[in-house]
Structures are given as structure tokens and as C-alpha cells.
Amino acid sequence: MSKDLILVESPSKAKTINKYVGKKYVVEATVGHIRNLPKTKLGIDIDNGFEPNLVNIRGKGDVIKKIRSLAGKSDKIYIATDPDREGEAIAQDVVDILTAAQKEKIERVLFNEITKKAVNEALKNTLKIDEHLVTSQRARRVMDRIIGYQVSPFLWRAVIEAYGSSLSAGRVQSVALRLICEREEEIDKFIPTEYWSITAVFTTEKGEELRAKLFEVNGKTIKIPPKPEMTDQDWDEFLKINFAVTKAELANKIVETLQARDNFIISDLTKKESRKNPYPPFITSTLQVESSRKLRFRPRRTMMIAQQLYEGIDLGEEGTTGLITYMRTDSTRLSEEVVGEARSFINEKYGEKYLPEKPKTYEPKNKKNVQDAHEAIRPTSLKYTPEFVKEFLDEAQFKLYELIWKRFIACQMESGRLETTTVSIKSDEYLFKSSGTTVLFDGYMTLYDEELEDKEDQNGSGLIPAGLELNQKLNLQSINPNQHFTKPPARYTESSLIKELESNGIGRPSTYAMIMGTIIDRKYVEQIERKLIPTDLGKKVNGILVKNFSNIFNVNFTAKMEDELDLIADGEIGYLKVLNDFYEPFSKTLKEVESNLEKIKCDKCGSDMDIKMGRFGKFLACTNYPECKNIKSLKEFSPNGGAPELTGDICPKCGGNTVYREGKFGRFIGCEKYPDCDFTKIVTLGLKCPKCSEGEVITRRTKRGRIFYGCNRYPDCDFASWTMPKPKENEEEDAEPASEEEV
């Protein structure tokens, strides 16, 4: 008796589904994509409608052979690859490798969650492959290949001394790099502005304390000047409606004036009630952002763990089951059934007062960019509480699952109610303000609340004593001037960069983790204390791209292309139009750039040398091939012949020069005469180890590439920290220990 065939992407997903469907089915994995553009050539016929030349991926021969064999023996073929563009494209790749007779047996099924109920329902409600989604994926792949293949060689020539770093340009990651570099430029150019705040502590007749900050002088609000250097005219305009305290002399004068007074009264007392609404359920971007902030997981790690939770976890007697819905989604939609279950859970667990009258619904911020009609990321069943599954999950899996669980339940809970009390304290022309917030009803916050970013309170902070009244006299207990300097804009973290890309309509759920990984793996950006900082190579690459391709690698053009790719997926625009809209300005710019590029000549025949990609990397080859077969290493053309950077010091072992080198675990110093001289030295940060006080702190990398700080006496001293230690007096209190598992 023949069996039906179910094809999925991953072996673990196949294993889970196989337990649900029984012996009537054979479940096989494609192990990702089986077809792709060729590695060593463009693979796109630009003159023939941008036709892609897809070929079977090297190493997938056995997989393809097995799929064909099983397809030939099956009555029906269910393609159950992931429910997104990439999954749809893989489904089409499977169709393309089968015979005409086998294609007649194909049905498309979508699993938004991998549970027994969802899998069996999907097999009963089959679909056809969505040609629009496939076309959209092909257009994205073609666009990215053209940019990478045609811009990267230019980049290799322009930065030829850095060829060992596998330079490349990407449509989206180059824009991400540009944002990071532009932020760094803002920081470098930033000139701090000095300003002063004045805080006071008042007491009531009962001795209750009230902290407040000077807010107005002569009816003008105290403001920080927008720029450190302004013209006289700008200052006059600013001071017409604002008051500025930018010098110690003025701050001290105000303090002295107020210290001599005793006429402080409460001039205004207001109470305002507000609601704090729960956050929407997770979509891909918000999951990555929140996981980064709360769990310190990088986007790539978050998606890897989420994939495990989606594909199935062995729950002992419960068997293997998927714990969350599909994790690549832009949609905040939730099914009526699961919302009903959540409301019952809330009522039973927390009581009626935590249950809203009606279910809560959420509209996405960028509705036009929502590409797939999936649900938000949520638990597949409320039976599987974090406590229930904890023993079956590792620490990282549990943390992420608990985060998803709490966010989902909280999104259907009642809003919190807050009361903010603001007190104004006046002495003639001087007005102080203080505010405090009280939680009247915690609502969803009893389960879940985002950590607030650190913000400087402009109006004082602390508890507001009860029973305050208008015109009540207060005593000035103390008053102090405080010097401040404005701070430059913050560097991006992975989470804040994802927010920025998403708000500009750049990238999609399946790409954020890849974007972050690519710019770090290419060594264009390094991550130090969670901040993304461009390397010298990254700055150089960005400078070249912006100078020569500013109309291509920018936010507006990239967002426009993303929108057009979405329109293809919706069937509202054609493949050819989108590729033409992209290629016409791109090819025009490329021709202009190449015309100004100095050619490298062949030293044998005088023809131009061109950069080629071979099995072992990039090299220069004569364009007069096969008449001339001259090839060259790229290092021969670098300004210093590919020589490493000198440190300026002498090798203590042999007297040669020492140079900086890159090793498996980061930068180190070695002798230029290696391998004849094997002297090496670790690059330290000039800080004594806070644990042993003998060694020095060095920068190291984990197996996954994350930077941490350790002692150069390891293993004699096992000090390790994610954050760079401060100078001796503060270093221990600020060091966040690194986990042994990741190190």
C-alpha cells in the first residue's frame, strides 16, 4: 500500500509531524533550500526579463534523489514548508524537480503551529502554491544578487588592502551599516552643552519631605539650549520664551537668592488619572527587541530558540509538540478561539477585575507593510504553562517561552490605572515642580511590564506626601545646583537598530537576524557592551558606498523596493516592473562609477584584469582569457602588499618587528618572522584584573563571536565579564559576569 508524502524543511519538524500523522504518511525534510542561484556567476539573464537560472545546490543531490523516489511511490504529495515567502519558494523548488505526473499529485499545506490538531486540520484543508509569494521571493533574491554581484567587485577594488575580510555589499545590510556609521558621525561631531539644574528638598510642618526641581523663572520654562554655539540673534529668540542656566555663576546666584527666602507655598496641586494599556502580542521584530533587552539574547539566537519551540519539544508523556506559533510574522492578529481560552485563564487565575469587558485587538503600526496573514507569536495551548514545561526546556528555551507566554496573556488583560500628582511650589518669580505616580490598579502589569528606559526626570521625583493643600507653606531644607552636559545620541544596539529599520519599512521578519549577523560577521561592525560600533573597515566600506551609490543604499530607495516586493506578493504589481524600477537607476549609477574607476592592467598582455570568484575565494584574472591565462593574488595590489599592521615594538625573542594579527579569539600581537619565531602577546586594555589584581583585562570572544572581557592569566584566574571593568575604584560593582556556557 502506497503512502502519502509530506515534505517539510527541517528534520526536527519532520520528526514532530511524523508522530501526529500516523503510518499512512512518510514525512521527509528538504533540509532548507534545494535550489539556488549559482555561486560562481551572476545566474540572471538581465536582458531576458531578469530570468533567474536556479540550479540544484551542491551537496543536495541525495536529498533530491530521495524526494523524487518517494514522490514516485506516493498517492499524494503534501508540501508543508514554512508559511512565508521563503517556504513558498522552497515549495516551488520541489515542484520544479519533479516530473509532470508527480506534479499532478501536489497539494500545499500550511502549519501556523505544529500541534496534532493544527497538522491534521491543515491536511484536510489543502491549498495551491501561492505564485505571487514565489514571484516576490524570486524578485528579492534577484535584486540582492545583482547588487551583491555587481557592487562587491567594485568594493573589492576600492578597498583592496582589506580583501581578506570577504567584502560585500548588500541591499539591506548596507543601509543598516549606513545608519550605524551616520550615528557614529553624529557622536564624533557632537559638542556637549553645559547646563545646570537646581533641586530642592522642602518639608511640611509635620516634617514630611518633598523633592522638587526648579522649573520656571519669571514665567519662562527652564530649557537646555539646542546648540552649544548660537548666534546672538538665536540666543535672543531662544530667551524670549525660555530661561537657560548654562553657567555655574548663575546657578549659584539663584541658589543664594532662594536660600535667603522663606515664602515657599504650594501654588498648584493637580491629580491626573491615566490608563496604561498592555502591549500587543509579539511579532518577529518585537520579540527580537524584547529578547535582546530583557534576556540579552542576540536576534540570531532568539530566532534559533524560537524555531526549536515552534518545531517541537519532547514533553515526556505528552509527547513531542510545538509550543509556539510560527515565529516569522508581522501580524498581531489572534484567533477568536485562543483569545477565548486566554480570557477564561485570566478570569480563573487572576479574577474578574483583571478581565476586560471585551477581547482586546491590536492594529499593526505599519499596516501596509504586514506581509502575511499569520497570527502573532503565541503559545499553541494554554495547557502548557511555563511551570508545566519548565522541566523539559533548557534555560534559554524556558526564558524565551516564558517571555512569549506572559506577553500573550498580558495582552488580553485589563489596563493598569495610574494617578500622577503634580505639585507646584512658588517663591515670587521662581517655580519648582515635583511629580509622583501611584499605581491605583496594576492590571496586566501584575504579570508583565516592559522595563522603562533610563530617563532623567525633569520635574523632580519621589513620593508625594499625602494631605498637601493649596497655599500650604513649605520650609526649604536644602537646595543644590547640579552640573550636567548634554549627551550625544546613543549608539544603536541590535534591538534599537531593528526598531529603526522596521519604522522605516526596511527588512522583513525573516531578515532582521540575518542583517545583524551579516554586518558583524563581515567585521563591518563590532558589538561592545551591546552597542554597535562601526570598525575602520566598516566606515571605509560605508564611505565608498555612500559616495558612489548614495541613491541606491539609502533608506527611502530601500523602503520603496520593499513596498514593491510586498505589492508583488499581493498580486498588485508585476515582477518585471519592480526589477526595472530597481535596475534602471542602479545600472546607470554603476556605469558612472565604473567609468571613473582605475583599471588594473595585465602585466603579460596589457588587457584589463578583472576580479573573479573561484572555489578558494577571490582572485584577479585577465579579461583576455583564454588567449592570456594570467591570474594574480589580490594581496599583490594592496598598498602595503598585504603586510600586517606594525605595532612599533620589537620582538623580545628575536629582535624583529611585531605586528597585529587576527586569531580565532580576537586580535593579538605576533612576530613578523612567524613561523620562524613563534612569539605572541595578548593585546590588553591597560586595566588590572579586578579579581586577582595580578593579570590585565583583555578582550576575548565566545564561541558564538560575542565579545567579553577576561583576565590574561586564564586559566589561573577565571575572571570574565560582559561589560568592560571600570578603573579600580568602581570596576567590580559594574562588571556583569559572563556565563560559563557561552564563554
How many C-beta neighbours within 10 Å does residue 15 have? 16
Instruction: Give the separation between CA 407 and CA 377, rounded to whole angstroms.
Output: 10
Lookup: cell for 332: 498581531
Lookup: cell for 170: 548588500
- Is 350 among the residues known to form the active site? no
Angstrom CA distances, 482 to 203, 298, 455, stand at: 21, 38, 16
Please provide the DSSP assignment of 186-220 as one string.
Answer: HHHH----EEEEEEEEEE-TT--EEEEEEEEETTE
Instruction: Give the separation between CA 626 and CA 638, rounded to whole angstroms.
Output: 26
Which helix (H) or strand (E) segment holds residue 343: the answer is helix 336-350
Omega within 30 of 0 (cis) for the link into 192 = no
Q: What are phi and psi of 271, to 5 degrees?
A: -125, 130
Give the chain's count of helices (H) and strands (E). 20, 32
| Spatial contact of 557 and 524, defined as CB atoms under 8 Å apart | no
Instruction: Give the separation between CA 52 and CA 139, rounded to whole angstroms.
Output: 9
Neighbouring residues of 276: CB distance < 8 A, sequence distance ≥ 6: 415, 416, 417, 418, 443, 445
Among residues 268, 613, 214, 730, the alpha carbon closest in space to that of 470 is found at: 268
Lookup: cell for 447: 504579570
Q: Backbone dihedral region of 358: left (phi > 0), alpha (psi from -120 to 50 degrees) or beta? A: beta
The catalytically annotated residue of 20, 78, 163, 326 is 326
Instruction: Give the separation between CA 244 and CA 228, rounded to whole angstroms.
Output: 12
Q: Backbone dihedral region of 697: left (phi > 0), alpha (psi from -120 to 50 degrees) or beta? A: beta
Which strands form 106-108's sheet, in the order they lie side by side? 25-29, 4-8, 77-79, 106-108
Residue for grid cell 498580486? 571
SS3 408: helix
How many C-beta neighbours within 10 Å does residue 189 have? 8
Q: Residues with catalytic annotation?
A: 326
